[in-house]
């Protein structure tokens, strides 16, 4: 029973729901409805713009590991200063865009650690964003370079499309892989040029899957969430052999 409970918890922590909403009250209500299946709450630009740091605190209070996805990208000094603020908010994951270069990414990693230490919280795992899943093309050489850059700069993980995993995992072994653009069967791709089904992404080696509108815009989000979780569980079990 203990082993089964641990497995369920681990599978929940592999599923992140993107709360791309402009209303924190609505986000918390949805969070309560689907927390049986999702262990990570992704706060992006829309919700953070609407509610600010309160969004991190509110979803954390609901029992989620918070993924603050702001994709920092500016000169190293600016990114480092912003990262010190963000690092103290209590999120478990944050993002920086590797297109900014190694010095900038390193500034983000260092800033997050300093901010977390000052606030007395655990430093977030900094995820290096490689190529957006809305981009049609992701040249292998670019993926390799950006994944290696993230590792060299001290990132704990990468954000990439499911189809990029073979390249990025080889270039930066040991880093957590977070895959957005997850679409269950029957869901539209929307603006995701390189989407993937949940089971496909897990089989390719993804550690965390990010699901968004397929759940948040559904008439019955619980049913969609349960189907996604079942597919992940099945793929994870197959991968374990």
Question: How far apart are alpha carbons 81 and 8 in whole angstroms?
Answer: 38
Tell me, yes or no, if 71 is annotated catalytic.
Answer: yes
Nearest to 126 by CA among 149, 204, 39: 149
29: which DSSP letter? H
Nearest-5° Cα angle at 36, 195 to 50: 65
Structure tokens at 124: 């977030």
Q: Which residue has the tokens 């990025």?
A: 168
CA atoms within 13 A on the CB side of 142: 13
Alpha carbon distances (Å) from 227 to 14, 34, 37, 82, 211: 14, 12, 10, 38, 12
Q: Which of 13, 20, 46, 71 is catalytic?
A: 71
Rounding to the nearest 10 degrees, give the CA dihedral for residues 80, 120, 35, 232. Answer: 60
Question: How far apart are alpha carbons 125 and 175 in whole angstroms?
Answer: 10
Active site residues: 71
């Amino acid at each position: 029973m203990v082993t089964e409970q641990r497995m369920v918890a681990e599978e929940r922590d592999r599923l992140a729901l993107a709360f791309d909403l402009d209303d924190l009250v609505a986000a918390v209500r949805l969070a309560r409805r689907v927390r049986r299946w999702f262990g990570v709450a992704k706060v992006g630009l829309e919700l953070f713009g609407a509610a600010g740091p309160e969004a991190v605190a509110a979803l954390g209070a609901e029992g989620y590991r918070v993924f603050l996805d702001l994709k920092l990208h500016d000169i190293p000094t600016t990114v480092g200063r912003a990262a010190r603020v963000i690092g103290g908010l209590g999120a478990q994951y944050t993002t920086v865009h590797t297109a900014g270069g190694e010095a900038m990414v390193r500034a983000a990693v260092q800033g997050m650690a300093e901010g977390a230490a000052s606030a007395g919280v655990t430093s977030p795992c900094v995820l290096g964003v490689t190529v957006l899943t809305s981009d049609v093309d992701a040249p292998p050489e670019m993926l390799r370079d950006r994944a290696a850059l993230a590792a060299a700069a001290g990132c704990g993980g990468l954000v990439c499309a499911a189809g990029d995993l073979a390249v990025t995992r080889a270039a930066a072994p040991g880093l957590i892989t977070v895959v957005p653009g997850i679409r269950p069967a029957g869901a539209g791709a929307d603006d995701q040029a390189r989407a993937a089904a949940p089971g496909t992404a897990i089989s390719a080696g993804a550690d965390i899957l990010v699901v968004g509108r397929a759940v948040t815009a559904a008439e019955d989000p619980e049913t969609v969430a349960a189907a996604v979780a079942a597919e992940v569980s099945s793929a994870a079990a197959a991968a374990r052999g």
